[in-house]
Amino acid sequence: MALTVVEGTHGMVITFDAATAFDITDYYENGVTVDSMEFIPTATDDKLIVTDTVAAGREMFNCLAATAYDNKFKYFPGPPDRRDKPYVAAANVSSGVKLIIEFK
């Protein structure tokens, strides 16, 4: 399985393989304005840590699944002109986890 990104008009869905990092600037050079993020695990103890810009950046979203059905959401209120640069290091995500990012 490889990292899979499905882009839409106002968001994207990333399915992780736990071997490949995800950098939003590979798709949107100047970043995006994030409205929300949804973590969709596939098993108990699946994890996801989204950082700002680089692997060692500030944590934007940190999740650990209690069960395979433990979806988690985070909303990002704020100005619509803010530019976010979500980054997920391969070591910070479990294989099969999905991240849905909705843009403003």
C-alpha pair distances (Å), 50 with each of 8, 35, 47, 64? 20, 14, 10, 12
Q: What is the CB-side half-sphere exposure of residue 53 using CA atoms within 13 A?
A: 4
DSSP state of 25: G
Domain count, the chain: 1
Angle at 71 between CA 2 and CA 29, to 5 degrees: 50
Query: What pLDDT, on a 0 to 100 scale, did the predictor assign at position 80?
Result: 84
Range of the domain at 33: 4-103
CATH number at residue 58: 2.60.120
Residue 26 scores a pLDDT above 90: yes
In angstroms, the CA 21 to CA 90 distance is 5
Angle at 95 between CA 92 and CA 101, to 5 degrees: 70
For 60-101, write each residue's pLDDT tens digit. 999 999 999 999 999 999 888 899 999 999 999 999 999 999
For 32-43, write each residue's pLDDT tens digit. 999 999 999 999
Residue 1 scores a pLDDT above 90: no
pTM value is 0.95
